[in-house]
Amino acid sequence: MIRRTTTKFTALAVAAGTGLVLTAAAPALAAFPVGEGTARAVATCGTSGLRIAFAERLGGGMNHAGGTLELKNTSGRTCALRGYPGLGLEDARHAPLPTRTVRGTTWYADDPGNTLVVLRPGQAAQANVSWTHTGTEAREAAYLQVTPPAATTHRTIALGDMVDFGELRVTAVAHKVPLRG
């Protein structure tokens, strides 16, 4: 089971010479430049305002599998994401399975880095997920829990694969995570 602890805080940082103001608070806010010397705060995308699905499933040699997750803004307002989605495995009865998530580069994609991704209504962000399925200490995972960055709730999507050691690798979210080769 994925558990997240949130701490309420407010911080203000001004990027020198850019006119960019970054604000973080509960609920989380991000900022992006909207004009010379100004900034506009944008709320963090919440789970309820995102459609989360595999845009593409990936297979490959050497017992690797994975997919490109798509987090599409369905909220009707601009929102922002920054960081890595939380992941968890579930069995066919939706019971949580032991899961270990490794953040960074995956078998299929280089990590784009922890950057702010602003999504207008209808726009989507991506993250790449990979795992191995050799049968070594494998868990039959029927479902994947996906918690958007900075969120405290998740969506559950179909996975239907064996996952060695319950280990998943995931990139940070980006507008597009380019696949290798």
Q: Residue ranges per domain, the chain? A: 46-170
How confident is the model over 13-43, as pLDDT tens digits?
323 333 333 333 334 555 444 444 435 689 9
- The CATH number that domain 46-170 falls under is 2.60.40
Report pLDDT for 178: 94
Tokens 């922002």 -> residue: 80
Report pLDDT for 40: 67
Q: Which of 156, 146, 149, 138 is nearest to 172 (CA)?
A: 149
Q: Which of 63, 50, 75 is nearest to 126 (CA)?
A: 50
Q: Are 166 and 139 in contact (CB under 8 A)?
A: yes
